[in-house]
Amino acid sequence: MPLRTIVGFVASFPSEREADDAPAGRFLAEFIATQLRTAGFNVIGPNERQGWAWDILATVDGINIDTIIGLVDDMESKPPRQWLITIDHAVGIWNRLFGSRSQRDQRELAMRKFCEIIHKTITSDDRFSHILWYNKDTFDRPGDSPGTTP
């Protein structure tokens, strides 16, 4: 089964824009970044992402991982989705075309390790509920089948 790298959930963090007009989610993004640092990851951020979300950049076993945390406030969906965290890594065209299987495996392992830490963080905290993980290739498409783990 492919790794799910998008997680939707409801959380009791402020969902209003900040007083300085920064997007909602600063406290949530800071919480996630702190937990990643505690787990031993090299983390940069959170930094505001063009006025609508928060970016966290992390290095996991030499792999750069980009995480976006944003308010979607889709409380009418079943189950409700207030927040989304998307997790991805950039792979250059050269590596995509000519990268070895061991490089692909290393990226997969780093992503899995990262997603598992996010999962452990949000499932062990009572402020989070309605946690579902999605595959980025099928997210919000007909037949999408989210799961309870990455």
How long is the chain?
Answer: 150
* Per-residue model confidence (pLDDT) at position 85: 97
For the chain, give the percent of residues with pLDDT over 70: 91
What single-letter DSSP state applies at residue 47?
E
For the chain, which residues make up each domain, given as ranges?
A: 6-75+88-134
| pLDDT band per the 50, 70, 90 thresholds, residue 61 | confident
Q: Is the pLDDT of residue 48 over 90?
A: yes
Other Cβ atoms less than 10 A from the Cβ of 144: the count is 11
Q: Render 60-129 in DSSP notation, one character per residue.
A: ETTEEEEEEEEEEEETTSSS-EEEEEEEE----HHHHHH--HHHHHHHHHHHHHHHHHHHHHHHTSTTEE
Euclidean distance between CA atoms 67 and 100, whole angstroms: 25
More confident residue, 76 or 120: 120
Give the tens place of pLDDT for each residue, 110-136: 999 999 999 999 999 999 999 999 999
For the chain, give the percent of residues with pLDDT over 90: 61
Whether residue 31 contacts residue 9, with contact meaning beta carbons closer than 8 Å, is answered with: no
Strand-strand pairing, 81-88 and 63-74: antiparallel
The radius of gyration of the chain from alpha carbons, rounded to an integer in Å, stands at 15
